Chains A and B, each alone.
Chain A
Amino acid sequence: MENLLEVKDLKTYFYTEDGVVPAVDGVDFELKPGQTLGIVGESGCGKSVTSLSILRLVPNPPGRIVEGEILFEGKDLVQATESEMQHIRGNDIAMIFQEPMTSLNPVFTIGKQIMEAIMLHQNLDKNAAREKCIEMLKLVGIPRAEQAIDEYPHQFSGGMRQRAMIAMALSCNPKLLIADEPTTALDVTIQAQIIELMKDLKDKLNTAIILITHDLGVVAEMCEHVIVMYAGKVVEEADILELYTDPKHPYTVGLMKSKPSLDDNRDRLEVIPGAVPNPLDMPEGCTFHPRCPHAMDICREKQPHLINNEEGRKVRCWLYEKEGEVK
């Protein structure tokens, strides 16, 4: 099957007063129609910037896509004009954001904000758009949709707002939905509801999803394929089952260990020692080596490549790169 989205060697840098921050530094991945891809990693690893780059919403200045291609149905979005992007945003690719409390405009009604997208992309008149909007609100499980459409965001709870955001994002039947930490700001019960809703809608509408999160539980629930990012780079890529049963990269192993579980009664969770490196002062060699329990001499000197091993899994680590095979 043809790829819906292909990201090739994407580099998005921020030009700040203190120096250049390589927020996304050579990311590759691809996505087939209807597939769900998870992107996981700690805060500041470049997950969100990757997703904003796809929609070309990285604030410029200071951010800029400096290199790479983002092929959406074969068309390179990096080269697309602003008006071509406006046609794609909300229509072919929609996005939901982390903060439902602040992602809706406080001065317009929920209905007006959803109808705006429908009227823009689907050439429907006001009445038809209103019908469609009520239908979408019902689809995402908002009670009393006929009244809720005329309410303002401040009259909605956090979970309801995120439902409204999802309704807005899906109202134009996008081929790709980018969900940037859609459940992070919600409490656990609501999180589960939103995840159920997204899974349900994915099956109904056959939308491809990129799910960005640092919640490994959410990834396990939803995704077929996962990429793990660290300091602007992909460090591991695998199918969901393989990643959970047999994580390769020491960083992924660390992430898995730091995940709380219902079965054990540890007082403290395991942590990965250290912190994400300062992007202005990246360590030499592998960016993870100062925190890595398996660091070798070579890790301090040379960057490892993202290698395909025998089982078709990709990992960026010297442990799996055999001598002499270095490209």
Chain B
Amino acid sequence: MGKYILRRLLQQIPIMLGVSILVFSIIQLAPGDPLASYMQNPNMTIAQMEALKEAYGLNASPVQQYFSYMKNALKGEFGYSIQLKQPVSKLIAERLGATFFIAFGSLLISILIAIPVGVISATKQYSFIDYAGTIFALAGISIPIFFFAILMKKWFAIDLRWFPLSGFVSPGKNYVGINMIKDILNHSFLPLIVLGLAGAGSLMRYTRSSMLEVIRQDYVRTARAKGLKERVVIYKHALRNALIPVITLLGFTLPGLFSGAITTEIMFSLPGMGRLQYNAVLHRDYPIMMGTNLFLAIFTLIGNLLADISYAAVDPRIRLD
């Protein structure tokens, strides 16, 4: 197992190199550059412009730029944001907490809703709960997040005034300890619900169809023939088998949670990676675009690795070495 993980981690190195080339090329291919906004300044002279380009290293060929970027990146230096004039690593580190909290919190909510509802939908197929779950899933999949977010803000933040409208902490309060946690939970409740419910839909349908297949298997009948209680048959014998494909899906969802939360972060003005990335794209802030994308790539790879490892943990037929 340890050997397998080490081998897999080593395999990630060439993949990361490939990803960095791809991301760099895409960014270069996009029209505009970080200095485009300066062009609109009528007092800007061509000489000043050239000096700026020289300073940011934008005059070099893309290949040279890539190599100098990677040389620094390997030393742990991801450059400075052109727009924000701060180190990229510091900008990412500042936003990591909120992003992680929202990502894992909403994933947890998705799982807690989707798996029980999916199991009940499958065991009581065509019942009221099954239909209700299906409608709920359809809504979760098809309602756009920005619209759902606005709706939730309207109901719970404006009409009922239960939760704050936006932000991650109350500005100027500087809470510490338990009060800080309370403040953060209060602010993140709506975004967590929005993302959690949106993710629960497809996960629930997936659990349902996987479970429907499993409860027709011979070994489920064997479990019943042993005299086990229906609860044990379903939640021990059947669910464990039904979760195997669900885990694969979760492995793919994990990285999506970090980037896919962009809309939610913008709607609720959360200080997360998504917003950082969004603003960077608007301003063609190359160092941030590179930094955040590489960061997401690392998470995608870790997510896949985690999925493979937990796959082996649930299914003894899968041997990792």
Contact = CB atoms under 8 A, between A and B. Distances in A.
B219 A106 contact: yes
A103 to B, nearest CB: 5
Category for how many chain B residues contact A: 20 to 34
B237 to A, nearest CB: 5
A89 B225 CA distance: 5
Contacts of A57: 221, 224-225
A102 B241 CA distance: 13
Given A57-B221, A105-B219, A107-B241, A154 B317 contact: yes
Interface in B36-62: none
- Is the contact region of chain B dominated by helix, strand, or loop, or is it mixed? helix
B124 to A, nearest CB: 11
A88 B228 CA distance: 10
Contacts of B221: 57, 97, 103
A302 interface: no
B241 A86 contact: no
B225 A107 contact: no
Contacts, number: 70
A120 B227 contact: yes
Category for how many chain A residues contact B: 20 to 34
Contacts of B241: 105-107
A87 interface: yes
A85 B229 CA distance: 10
A168 B226 contact: yes
Nearest to B126: A61
A106 B317 contact: yes
Contact of A107 (B222, B230, B314): B314
B305 to A, nearest CB: 21
Contact of B225 (A90, A102, A106, A152): A90
Interface in A189-232: none
Contact of A120 (B219, B228, B240): B228
A91 interface: yes
12 contacts: A85-B227, A88-B227, A89-B225, A90-B227, A91-B227, A94-B225, A97-B222, A97-B225, A103-B219, A103-B221, A120-B227, A165-B222
